[in-house]
């Protein structure tokens, strides 16, 4: 309720600045106030914050791909000198050998 009273006094320019990265900024002053209150209640982050969070998550995911369960970091496959995408160069192995490696 106090946030509602506070935002009723806010100028349209400040409302549009607040809503610019979060929601549509067109409309009358009372619509902007209601939209800003909705954004605050739903805790919608700004587009800049979303991009930063996405980048951090992507970097964390990328690091996780090359980290073993024991915390060791392994090199990216394409950074190895003799790396090849050709699966025909894989040695023959039995289903039992594969099971022993995976489990």
**Angle subtended at Cα 62 by Cα 57 and Cα 68, rounded to the nearest 5 degrees:** 120
Q: What does the pLDDT look like over 13-43, one tens digit per residue?
A: 788 888 888 877 887 888 888 888 888 898 8
pLDDT tens string 77-96: 878 888 888 888 888 889 99
In 21-83 the beta strands, taken as DSSP E runs, fall at none
Cα separation, 15 vs 10, whole angstroms: 7
**pTM score, two decimals?**
0.46
């Amino acid at each position: 309720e106090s946030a509602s009273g506070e935002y009723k006094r806010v100028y349209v320019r400040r409302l549009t600045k607040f809503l610019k990265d979060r929601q549509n900024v067109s409309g009358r002053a009372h619509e902007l106030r209601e939209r800003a209150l909705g954004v605050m209640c739903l805790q919608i982050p700004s587009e800049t914050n979303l991009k930063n969070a996405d980048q951090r998550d992507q970097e964390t995911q990328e690091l996780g791909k090359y980290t073993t369960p024991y915390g060791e970091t392994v090199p990216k496959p394409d950074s190895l000198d003799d790396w090849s995408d050709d699966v025909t160069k894989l040695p023959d192995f039995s289903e039992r050998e594969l099971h022993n490696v995976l489990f």
